[in-house]
Structure 1
């Protein structure tokens, strides 16, 4: 698929999210490559997406340390939805803006990836 059409498709998937100019949701092939990947954030936290659907977020020592466990799935709109073992759940959207990858929460908070 030409890059322009991929960007249109990913923009349609991200409809309803608080996007900023230049934000492009990750393409379907990038979402499918998520299992086994981890993302480190500037606050020292790290998200890990297991190949079996397991999810772990490890907090930085400055933020109390520890790990929150759960499972994840890729939603139809391209967001990543996590159900934590403590009963809490949320969906986030990963976007590219220029050379940066950013996690956007449902509340519109933005967390750039290192």
Structure 2
């Protein structure tokens, strides 16, 4: 029984992405394009938080106003999602889209949308 539970724990969270419901005006990424766009770059959100995607797969999120930094590793998935495994053991997958205004927008599993600055 333990093997069965362990096997299901390895299924990426992105399998459940169909509930994230991108808008009809959102454009999804293919894996290669999303990886090329983000690997080695930093994106900034409107609250001044920053996600940094290092070339070697490391990831950091720095909160605005000296709120600290989260550290982890990212994996670009085939379904326009990026999954992050934080060093604390927490993990998450988010859907990355281009919205109607041409902005990179992150959609969380709960459906919250976070547009990024150009």
* Larger mean Cα displacement after TM superposition, 16-25 or 99-108: 16-25
Alignment partner, residue 37 of structure 1 = 41
The answer as to whether partners of 2:31 and 2:79 remain within 8 angstroms in 1 is no
* Aligned with residue 82 of structure 2, among 75, 80, 83: 80
TM-score w.r.t. the length of structure 2 is 0.76
Question: Does residue 108 of the first structure (1) align with residue 111 of the second (2)?
Answer: yes
Question: Does residue 49 of the first structure (1) align with residue 53 of the second (2)?
Answer: yes
- Cα drift, residue 30 of structure 1: 2.2
Alignment partner, residue 58 of structure 1 = 62
RMSD across aligned C-alpha pairs, in angstroms?
1.6
* Aligned with residue 94 of structure 2, among 92, 100, 111: 92
When Rg is computed on C-alpha atoms for both structures, the one with the higher figure is: 2
TM-score w.r.t. the length of structure 1 is 0.79
